[in-house]
């Protein structure tokens, strides 16, 4: 069993981005909208800001109260769309119940949609065209490539069908010529599906969902889940201690997919900045 170390790879990617920023003499700009006081969201945004600082990016966080109005957020996004110093706009999800999340995501300029959530970019991903890809699935593909894991022809089972992770993950795998199956909350007999996986990718937020008897020998496990136990420990969706005994490769939690998500956010923002710089010439 070998660990797929996202922490080491993300540091390498971040260093390469910082070097490229210096060479190009660009200052990519990232703006984040953070609504409310969720500790996990605040911590994650803080990690993103620190990564921007290390890479030589300009970053700004618009912190908004929990009872913010739809119009107030929309006006902020319109302002950021028009700001030439902002190349990437990130809406920290989830948003409060009074906010129409779909409308907010659709308002972001697709050329600044570094999270890859705008329908324009979703459509380009689905049809195999270049665009902005959601950071977590994109990070998974980079992690697999780093360890020379070719998904072509492999049976890949994605557990979780969210718009943020599961669906774009499946699209990326399909574009890379994998055989893809998506399982979700209504899937009957999950074990029946996971047992056939050459590569099993799980991101649903359920501790120990995947157990040892649900996977075959030599399986590659990508644990995208991030959960906190009652004693404060961070764990994924896979029973790591037992499942890892049967794996050829597995991602740890923390230190697997998580750091790659932030590295891909930097990569997408730099990509947006380079596109913007070309358009100005």
Residues with a known catalytic role? 48, 92, 115
Matching residue, tokens 């992690």: 143
Instruction: Please say whether the beta carbons of 21 and 27 come within 8 A.
Output: yes
> In degrees, to the nearest 5, what angle opens at C-alpha 265 toward C-alphas 36 and 130?
125
For residue 77, what are its two tokens? 């996004």
Instruction: Please say whether the beta carbons of 201 and 140 come within 8 A.
Output: yes
Q: How far is CA 159 from CA 4, 60, 126, 140, in A?
A: 19, 34, 18, 14
Task: Provide the pairing of β-strand 88-91 with 29-35.
Answer: parallel
Residue 225: helix, strand or coil by DSSP?
Answer: coil
Cβ contacts of residue 68 below 8 Å, gap of 6+?
Answer: 35, 96, 99
Whether cis (ω within 30° of 0) applies to the bond prior to 106 is no
Give the separation between CA 104 and CA 76, rounded to whole angstroms: 10
């Amino acid at each position: 069993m070998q660990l797929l170390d996202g922490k080491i790879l993300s540091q390498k990617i971040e260093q390469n981005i910082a070097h490229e920023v210096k060479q190009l003499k660009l200052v990519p700009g990232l703006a984040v909208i953070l609504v409310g006081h969720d500790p996990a969201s605040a911590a994650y945004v803080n990690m993103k800001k620190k990564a921007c600082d290390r890479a030589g990016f300009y970053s700004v966080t618009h912190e908004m109260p929990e009872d913010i109005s739809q119009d107030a957020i929309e006006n902020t996004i319109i302002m950021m769309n028009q700001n030439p110093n902002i190349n990437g706009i990130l809406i920290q999800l989830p948003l409060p119940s009074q906010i129409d999340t779909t409308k907010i995501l659709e308002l972001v300029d697709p050329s600044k949609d570094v999270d890859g959530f705008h329908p324009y970019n979703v459509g380009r991903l689905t049809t195999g065209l270049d665009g902005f890809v959601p950071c977590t699935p994109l990070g998974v593909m980079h992690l697999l490539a780093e360890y020379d894991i070719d998904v072509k022809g492999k049976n890949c089972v994605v557990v979780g069908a969210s718009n943020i992770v599961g669906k774009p993950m499946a699209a990326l795998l399909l574009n890379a010529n994998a055989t893809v199956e998506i399982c979700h909350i209504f899937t009957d007999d999950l074990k029946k599906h996971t047992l056939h996986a050459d590569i099993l990718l799980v991101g649903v937020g359920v501790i120990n969902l995947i157990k040892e008897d649900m996977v075959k020998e030599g399986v590659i496990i990508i644990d995208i889940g991030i959960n906190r136990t009652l004693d404060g420990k961070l764990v994924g969706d896979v029973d790591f201690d037992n499942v890892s005994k049967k794996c050829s490769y597995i991602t740890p939690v923390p230190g697997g997919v998580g750091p790659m998500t932030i590295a891909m956010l930097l990569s997408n923002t730099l990509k947006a900045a380079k596109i913007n710089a070309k358009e100005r010439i």
